[in-house]
Each structure stands twice: as structure tokens, then as C-alpha cells.
Amino acid sequence: ATNIASTAPHRERMASSTSKGRGGLDTVELVHASGATATVYLWGATLTSYCTAQREEMIFVSPGAVFDGTQPIRGGVPVVFPQFGRPDQRLPMHGFARTSTWSVDSFVDATEETRAPPSPRLSTPSLPDAPRPPPHPAPSRDPGLLLSLSESAATLELWPHRFRLELTVRLS
């Protein structure tokens, strides 16, 4: 895992880290000063875990979920776009956002946001080079991240509209 913010002993500071999750898919883990954690897969921008400070898991992911980047993660908290269900048969069930790799635009772990430069969408940024908060994050700020997804040649083929989605995940 790559540590995105420094952490002090006794969990006095918050941190974000990137790592490979199940199936080798890229994830971001947020860690709050209280000990609460959240895990988000960049595949589908799917929140797959939220554990309280008491380590109680609050998010259900199906034991049959497939983590290979070929289908949506079954369970968790997915992003459904541009349709719910399948009213347009040309599009996959619940759209393509949950079967696309989202970009990390920024991490929020301190008193200011660190924004990454624009990157091509539907591609994973180089995680070791991901944006980094200042080296001494203040524990008064809730850890979070901003993910985005924009149109690409592949999405325009399915759905001929320009778009930009942003998803903020924050522990507070």
C-alpha cells in the first residue's frame, strides 16, 4: 500500500492509502482518527467497506461478487449512471459508471484539498504518483477523496452525450 498522508502514533492523524484490492483492482482506503475506515474500489467507484471505530462492518458485499474488472462489483454502494435498470437496451444494466475505472482527482486529509492534474478518464492514474496532501495533516479535517468519470470514446459509442460525474467520499 502507498501511504498518502503521514500518520502519527496513537492514530492522532488521518490517512488515505492506495493499494490493490481483490482481483488486483485498485482501491483507496480512508482512515479516520477515530479508527473508522472506508474502502473504495476505483472500478465502478464502489464503496465496499465502511467499518466503525469499533471495527463493525456496515457494508454488504455479496460472497459471489467478482473482482476481475469484467462486471460490476455485486454489493457495496455502487454509482448507477446513466440509467437505472435497462430501459435503453443498448446500455448495460444500470449504465456504465459501475463498470468503468474512475480517476482520483483529489484527497482531502488536512486543512486543504490536494487536486491532481486532469487525466484521461476511464483510466487509472498511476497510484504511486497520486496527489498527496501536505506532510502533516491536521486531525480536525475529515479524510476524503474526490473521484470523477467523464465521457470517452467507449461511453460515447453507447450513450452519445458529454458528461462529468464527481463522487466525494468522506469519513466524518
pLDDT in tens, 29-38: 999 988 899 9
pLDDT digits (tens, 9 = 90+) for 84-123: 988 888 888 888 999 999 999 998 764 444 444 443 333 3
pLDDT at res. 151: 96
pLDDT at res. 120: 37
DSSP state at residue 145: E
Give 132's pLDDT tier (boundaries 50, 70, 90).
very low
Cell 469499533 belongs to which residue? 54
With beta carbons less than 8 A apart as the criterion, state whether 18 and 4 touch: yes
On average, the pLDDT of the chain sits at: 78
With beta carbons less than 8 A apart as the criterion, state whether 30 and 62 touch: no
Give CA–CA dist 15/108, Å, rounded.
9
Span of 1-10, 63-72, 93-102, 152-161 with lowest mean pLDDT? 1-10
Give 65's pLDDT tier (boundaries 50, 70, 90).
very high
Give CA–CA dist 19/25, Å, rounded.
8
Enter the pTM of the model: 0.74
pLDDT digits (tens, 9 = 90+) for 24-59: 999 999 999 888 999 999 999 999 999 999 999 999
Question: Ramachandran region of residue 11, left (φ > 0), alpha (ψ -120 to 50) or beta?
Answer: left
